Amino acid sequence: MIKLIATDMDGTLLNAAHEISEENIQAIEYAQSQGITVVIATGRAFYEANTPIAQTDLKLPYICLNGAEVRDESFNISSTSNLNRELIDRITDVLNRESIYYQIYTNIGIYTENPQRDLDIYIDIAERAGQQADVEKIKAGIQKRIDNGTLKVVDNYDKIKDTPGEIVMKILAFDSDLEKIDRVSEELAQSGSLAVSSSSRGNIEITHADAQKGIALQTIADRLKVDMSDVMAIGDNLNDVSMLERAGYSVAMANATDEVKATAKFETESNENSGVGKAIMKLLKEYNN
Cβ atoms 87, 176 nearer than 8 A: no
Which uninterrupted H or E stretch holds 37?
strand 37-41
Active-site positions?
A: 8
Report the Cα 184 to chain-centroid distance in Å.
20
Residue spans of beta strands (DSSP E) within 47-130: 62-64, 69-71, 77-80, 101-106, 110-112
For strands 194-197 and 203-208, give the pairing.
antiparallel
Q: Which residues pair with 250 in a beta bridge?
A: 233
* Three-class DSSP category at 11: helix
Measure CA 273 to chain center. 20
Calpha distance 22→28 (Å, rounded): 10
Cα separation, 252 vs 146, in Å, equals 34
Strand order in the sheet with 194-197: 151-153, 110-112, 101-106, 168-174, 203-208, 194-197
